[in-house]
Structure formats: structure tokens, C-alpha cells
Structure 1
Amino acid sequence: MEAVIFDMDGVIVDTEPGFFIVANKFLERYGKSITKEYFEQFFGGASVHMWKTTTEMLGLDVPVEECLKGTHEIREQCLVIEDSSNGVTAAKSAGMSVIGFRNLEVANQGLKPADHVVTPMKDITLELCRSF
């Protein structure tokens, strides 16, 4: 064996529990919620499919676009730590604050749009995170 590749989402970092919380915070607006067991069927899938299925199952007359917008509003309260141009762009597009981590082994990461850039990971302090 010459290499090992780790999947990020679900292996290195599990973002599904966070999205489950965000989804339920949005559904609270309509007096509804989903269970973890229900949500698990959508792991790794598209948000549009999840919201279309969920609104139909709950009998909500809420357009999918409204669900996506509502979860976007909640995501604005998030801070992202990112090391790539695509990740910074995605996080900023979602309305999130971003700390860019400059990896000295990579020539051009494109972190300029980040709200703050650090080089050593130890510069990401609780104080810095709270400043957003």
C-alpha cells in the first residue's frame, strides 16, 4: 500500500449532527421536528431532496427554497475554519465567517476572501473564534 485516503465528512469531521440541529431549529418555526432516525436516511444526500421529502412527510406547505433559505439564516451564526479556496468561497457564499488556515506546504490556497488568515494552527484561539 502506498497511500491512504480519508473521507472528510463522516470520517474526519461529522457534520451531519450539526445539520440535524439546524434542520430542527428551522422546523421549530412551524411547530414541527424530525427524529434522528428519520434524518439518517438522508446522510450524504442532497439538501433539496431532504427538504422536499420532509415537507411532504410533515404536511408543510413550505417551498424547498424557503427551507434552504431558512437553514442558510441559521448557518450565518457559524464559523468555518478552512484551508482551500473552494471551501472559503462556499462558506462565504453560505453567509458564514471564515478563518483561513494557510498551509505552508501549498503554494496558492486562495484564502484572501477569508475574514482572517492564520498560518500555525495554534493561532486559532477561542478568543479569535469569539471575535466573529
Structure 2
Amino acid sequence: MLKAVLFDMDGVIVDTEPLHRKAYHQMFEEVAIDVKEDLYTSFTGQSTINICKRLVDYFSLNETPEYLVSLKRKHYNSIFENDDLQLIDGVLDRIKDYHANNVTLVVASSASMPGIQQIFNYFDLNQYFSAKFSGADLEKSKPHPEIFLKAAEFTGFKKSECMVIEDSTNGIKAAHSAGIFCTGFKSKHSSGQDYSLANMVVSSFEEISYSKIVNLIS
């Protein structure tokens, strides 16, 4: 029986990917590197610091990963303040649905904690969630299962009573490795991601209402 839902944030709760893309590419331009699309796509679901570590190694940069993170964050904050950001269609209704049915909600995102707080404050989501986990605060980034294992442990429920909602290859791999039921959320905002390891794939939050999903988790 479903007792807890572990939400990814970017691409699941809110579509910040276009904002992150702009911020990353402004950072790439600032440090004069040419990041091809296949390399950029492979970053999806990973924390900013781990992406920047990969960039430093890949391009043999003199700059530190931490400096690249600061550049990217500077550009992101500027874009965020000037963008009309919206929640993913249907996600707020689903959050309220789960919450009303006493399902414990946790966010487990590769975004930085300030980035998570920024979104949660902007959309007034704190009232529904019991905890937030940031991959940037952990040793391992998705596709490593660490974040979902910690999030599931926090709920106090068995892994078999939890569900992950993810939209990225790396996130789905992380949930699979953690041994937690994973719903792959495939929407117009998702591209180039592999959903083959997800337990089920949906394109609308209506498909995973509490009444439809509660007894699928066991």
C-alpha cells in the first residue's frame, strides 16, 4: 500500500529545465567551452557540482568546479527573476490528493537546497512536504541511489511502501537501483530520456491519482 511519494523536482514539479539550459549555456560561453548536445543531455538528473566537475575534467579547465557552480547560479538567479515560471500541469492537484490521503511527501532532487527552497517558497509548497533532500549535499549524485535511499529511510516506511516520480534517465536508474517502485513521468518537457527501467510510465498526473495507485504499491 502506498505510504510515501518521493518527488523529483525539475521536470516533475516544475519545468525549470529551460532556465537551467539558458544558465548553463551562458556559463559555457563565459568560460569559452563548446558543450555538444549529447554531452549536455547526459547531465540530466545530476547535481550542478558533479556536472561542473565533469566539465573541468572533460575540457581540462583551469577554473574550479565551485567557480563554475557560482557562475551558473548567478545566471540562473537572474533568469529566474525575469521568467514566468509555472508548475507542471496537474502536479499541484496530485500533491494535494496525496497529502489529503495522508501520504508522506518528500522531494528528492539533484538541485541545490537553495534552488529547491526558491521553488517551494515561490509556489507555497512547503505545507505539503515533510522533507527535502538535495543531491548537492550528498557524496553521490543520481544515477547513484543514495538520495532515494535516504529519502525513503526518512519516511519511516518500507521501500515497498514508497513510490518515486522521476522524468530523467539518471533519476529512474537511481530509483531502480534503490529498489523503489518508480513512475516515469514522460511529458512534453522530457526529451532524450530512457524510461525502460521505470515500473510504469505516465504522461499525465491524472494517471497516478491516489485511488488509482494506492494498491499498486505493495
Unaligned runs of 5+ in 2: 93-106, 108-112, 129-218
Q: Which runs of 4 or more aligned residues in structure 1 lie more than 2 Å from their structure 2 counterparts after TM superposition?
A: 5-18, 79-83, 89-94, 98-103
Q: Matches of 1:46 and 1:91 in 2, distance apart? A: 11
What is aligned with 2:32?
31
Q: TM-score, normalised by structure 1?
A: 0.53
Pair 1:18-2:42 in alignment: no
Within a 5 Å distance, the mapping from 1:109-124 to structure 2 comes to: none
Per-residue deviation, 1:39: 1.2
Q: TM-score, normalised by structure 2?
A: 0.35
Per-residue deviation, 1:74: 0.9
Letter in 2 for 1:72: R
What is aligned with 1:58?
59
Distance 1:2 1:30, change over 3 A: closer
SS in 2 for 1:68: helix
Letter in 1 for 2:114: A
SS in 1 for 2:18: helix
Higher relative contact order (CA 8 A, sep 6+): 2
Per-residue deviation, 1:99: 4.1
Per-residue deviation, 1:75: 2.1
Letter in 2 for 1:46: S
Pair 1:47-2:9 in alignment: no
Letter in 1 for 2:16: T
Per-residue deviation, 1:7: 5.1
Distance 1:67 1:14, change over 3 A: same
Report if the CA contact (8 A) 1:81-1:101 is conserved: no
Per-residue deviation, 1:92: 9.3
Deviation by residue 1:25-44 (Cα, 9 ceiling, x = unmatched): 01211222312221111211
What is aligned with 1:72?
73
SS in 2 for 1:76: helix
Q: Matches of 2:124 and 2:36 in 1, distance apart? A: 35
Within a 5 Å distance, the mapping from 1:88-107 to structure 2 comes to: 90-91=114-115, 99-101=122-124
Per-residue deviation, 1:100: 4.9
What is aligned with 1:121?
none
Q: Matches of 1:20 and 1:26 in 2, distance apart? A: 10
Report if the CA contact (8 A) 1:20-1:36 is conserved: no
Distance 1:75 1:17, change over 3 A: closer
